[in-house]
């Protein structure tokens, strides 16, 4: 089951289309199957000439938008079409209604039991798909959150596949190569190009990465093929390259500016951290130089424990954020939409912990533990230091997190041992001071002196 989301500004015009014959007379028996109220009451009334009157339904959907006094998204109409595979069985109206309600609940636009959520309807005019229409304004005069909506929609579709035994589709893990957009494809046709710029760049970058053995050789190979390269530098260490973007000399905007594509926009395995790991760059594998090597459960556990410790030791909000930053945690404060000087929440991450798109992956306090939201921390600080210490329960690692951390530590130890053996075989010099202070040496009988396959007694972490 596949879901596609588009945005618009005229809900009445969209309803006309959904209840109309369609562009190729493909719409048959359009009717409402679900919505924010009783579908039978929301169904547009038929007039004497057989046409439908959409004024009442459009007015109900637009009422929350009018209550916001224009303080809304530029395109406040949310349109989601959900289609089953051609070989899937035909679902009933009741089953499609369950699918629509689950999508609205999973995306957070209209959670189950939330009477003040957005107003929405689901219209079915074919056997294999339905259309969901919602206006992006809650009935409590707030804007709904659209954070991660597309991935939540993908997860909801996979849930329905399991419920009804439909064809299983891939999860939204962001590992597939990015397809060229319709605009990019049409632009390539107008210019007489054999393929869109994104496709050509992906091929050139993949070829250069496959033939290169080092980062320097990779960028040299790209330059030889005529590809433009732009480096991205670290905000904390200006001389350190953290990413790159590529472009073509003949692919520009209307004002002559080069259109750039980051490595993650071409394919998930073409980001610079992934390429460095492929080339065997020790910095890319070392968690001290980048949290990208840490598994997600370990990152969440570390962040949760750090936040809990800072909240327990801090006497107030300012000291709390200061302790987090001193511990090396990146903090992003969320400001109120009404009072821009008021902090209503926060999100944290570790330096270098990025996703496939090379963007930092942030975690709100509430996602890490229910007691770590800013309102609950403020309430605890108001009651005294003893009350704030209650959040120390959040610092405990769960069994799966502890297992994942031990596995990661085992992989890092194995990588370090392999590095020592490689240095010992090629040059004893690096081995003598690896991982030690100035002038340090590996003592007799240490890990560097063991032969491959020799058992090593482990220590309990």
Q: Assess whether 138 and 40 both reside in one domain.
A: yes
Answer yes or no: do 11 and 153 share one domain. Answer: yes
Q: Clarify whether residues 131 and 202 are in a common domain.
A: no
309 and 439 fall within a common domain: no
Query: Do 134 and 205 lie in a common domain?
Result: no
Q: Is residue 220 part of a domain?
A: yes
* Number of domains present in the structure of the chain: 4
Q: What is the pLDDT of residue 443?
A: 41
Residues 389 and 407 in one domain: no
Cβ 82 vs Cβ 3: under 8 Å: yes
Q: Are residues 332 and 426 in the same domain?
A: no
Q: Which two tokens stand for residue 103?
A: 């999508």
SS (H, E, C) the chain: CEEEEEEECCHHHHHHHHHCCCCCCCCCCCEEEEECCCHHHHCCEECCCCCEECHHHHHHHHHHHHHCCCCCCCCCEEEEEEECCCCCCCCCHHHHHHHHHHHHHHHCCCCCCCCCCCCEEEEECCCCEEEEEEECCCCCCCCCCCCCHHHHHHHHHHHHHHHHCCCCCCCCCCCCCCCCCHHHHHHHHHCCCCCCHHHHHHHHHHHHHHHCCCHHHHHHHHHHCCCEEEEEECCCCCCCEEEEEEECCCCECCCCCECCEEHHHHCHHHCHHHHHHHHCCHHHHCCCCCHHHCCHHHHHHHHHHHHHHHHHHCCCHHHHHHHHHHCCCEEEEEECCCCCCCEEEEEEECCCCECCCCCECCEEHHHHCHHHCHHHHHHHHHHCHHHHHHHHHHHCCCHHHHHHHHHHHHHHHHHHHHHHHHHHHHCHHHHHHCCCCCCCCCCCCCHHHCCCCCCCCCCCC
Look at residue 157 and tell me if it is in a domain: yes
User: Please, are residues 397 and 405 in contact by the beta-carbon 8 Å criterion?
Assistant: yes
The CA-atom distances, in angstroms, between 219 and each of 201, 207, 225, 269, 357 are 13, 12, 10, 16, 20
Q: Which of 129, 164, 199 is the last residue of a domain?
A: 164
- Phi-psi label, residue 69: left if phi above 0, alpha if psi -120 to 50, beta otherwise: left
Is residue 454 included in any domain, yes or no? no
Residues 181, 183, 188, 192, CA torsion sign: positive
Distance CA 204, CA 214 (A): 16
| Tokens standing for residue 350 | 């570790």
Distance (Å, rounded) from C-alpha 339 to C-alpha 341?
Answer: 5
How far apart, in whole angstroms, are the C-alpha atoms of residue 337 and residue 72?
11
Structure tokens at 260: 């750039």
Q: How far apart are CA 122 and CA 133, in angstroms?
A: 6
Q: Are 219 and 225 in contact (CB under 8 A)?
A: no
Angle at 282 between CA 277 and CA 286, to 5 degrees: 90
Do both 355 and 316 map to the same domain?
yes
Domain span at 219: 182-280
Cβ atoms within 10 Å, residue 154: 19
Please indicate, yes or no, if residue 460 is contained in any of the structural domains: no
Give the up-direction half-sphere exposure of residue 187: CA atoms within 13 A in the CB hemisphere. Answer: 15
Whether 95 and 60 map to the same domain: the answer is: yes
Q: Which of 258, 280, 302 is the last residue of a domain?
A: 280
Of 2, 328, 361, nearest to 166 by C-alpha is 2
Give yes or no: residues 445 and 362 share one domain.
no
pTM, to two decimals: 0.50
* 10-residue mean pLDDT series, the chain (461 residues): 93 94 84 95 90 94 85 86 94 96 95 94 94 95 89 92 90 72 88 90 90 88 92 82 92 90 88 85 42 70 86 84 86 77 85 72 84 85 62 63 75 72 54 42 40 38 34
Nearest to 287 by CA among 278, 299, 275, 297: 299
Distance CA 175, CA 53 (A): 45
Task: Judge whether 47 lies within some domain.
Answer: yes
d(CA 299, CA 291): 8
Q: Backbone dihedral region of 100: left (phi > 0), alpha (psi from -120 to 50 degrees) or beta?
A: alpha
Task: Quote the pLDDT of residue 460.
Answer: 36
Asked whether the CA dihedral 15, 16, 20, 25 is positive or negative, the reply is negative
- 237 and 195 share one domain: yes
**pLDDT score for 458:** 37
Is residue 170 included in any domain, yes or no? no
379, two tokens: 């309430």
CA 41 to chain centre: 38
- Quick check: is 441 in a domain? yes
Measured CA to CA, the distance from residue 400 to residue 417 in angstroms comes to 26
Q: Does 232 lie in the same domain as 106?
A: no
Q: What is the pLDDT of residue 384?
A: 67
457 within some domain:
no
Residue ending a domain, choose from 280, 303, 322: 280
């Amino acid at each position: 089951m596949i879901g596609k989301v588009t945005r618009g500004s005229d809900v009445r015009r969209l309803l006309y289309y959904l209840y109309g014959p369609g562009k190729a007379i493909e719409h048959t028996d359009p009717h409402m199957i679900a919505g924010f109220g009783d579908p039978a009451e929301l169904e547009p009334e038929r007039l004497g000439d057989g046409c439908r009157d959409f004024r009442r339904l459009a007015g109900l959907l637009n009422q929350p938008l009018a209550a916001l006094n224009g303080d809304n998204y530029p395109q406040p109409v949310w349109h989601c079409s959900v289609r089953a595979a051609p070989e899937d069985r035909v679902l009933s109206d009741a089953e499609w209604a369950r699918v629509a309600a689950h999508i609205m609940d999973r995306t957070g636009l209209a959670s189950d039991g939330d009477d003040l959520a957005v107003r929405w309807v689901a219209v079915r005019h074919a056997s294999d798909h339905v259309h969901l229409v919602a206006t992006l304004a809650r009935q409590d005069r707030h804007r709904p959150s659209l954070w991660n909506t597309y991935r939540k929609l993908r997860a909801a579709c996979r849930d329905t596949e399991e419920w009804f035994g439909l064809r299983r589709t891939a999860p939204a893990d962001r590992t597939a190569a990015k397809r060229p957009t319709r605009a990019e494809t049409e632009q390539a046709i107008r210019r007489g190009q054999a393929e869109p710029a994104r496709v050509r760049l992906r091929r050139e970058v993949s070829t250069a990465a496959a033939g290169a053995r080092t980062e320097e050789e990779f960028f040299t190979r790209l330059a030889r093929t005529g590809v433009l390269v732009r480096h991205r530098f670290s905000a904390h260490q200006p001389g350190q390259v953290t990413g790159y973007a590529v472009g073509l000399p003949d692919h520009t905007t209307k004002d002559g500016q080069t259109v750039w594509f980051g490595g993650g926009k071409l394919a998930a395995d073409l980001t610079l951290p992934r390429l460095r790991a492929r080339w065997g760059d020790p910095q890319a594998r070392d968690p001290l130089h980048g949290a990208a090597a840490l598994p997600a459960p370990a990152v969440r556990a570390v962040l949760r424990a750090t936040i809990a410790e800072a909240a327990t030791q801090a006497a107030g909000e300012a000291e709390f954020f200061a302790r987090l930053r001193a511990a090396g945690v990146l903090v992003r404060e969320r400001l109120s939409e009404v009072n821009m000087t008021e902090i209503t929440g926060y999100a944290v991450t570790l330096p270098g912990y990025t996703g496939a798109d090379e963007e930092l992956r942030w975690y709100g306090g509430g996602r890490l533990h229910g007691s770590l939201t800013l309102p609950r921390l403020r309430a605890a600080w108001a009651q005294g230091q003893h009350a704030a210490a209650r959040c120390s329960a959040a610092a405990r690692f769960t069994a799966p997190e502890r297992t994942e951390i031990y596995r990661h530590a085992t992989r890092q130890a194995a990588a370090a041992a392999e590095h020592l053996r490689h240095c010992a075989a090629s040059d004893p010099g690096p081995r003598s001071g690896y991982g030690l202070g100035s002038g340090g040496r590996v003592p007799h009988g240490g890990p560097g002196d063991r032969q491959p396959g020799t058992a090593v007694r482990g220590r309990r972490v």
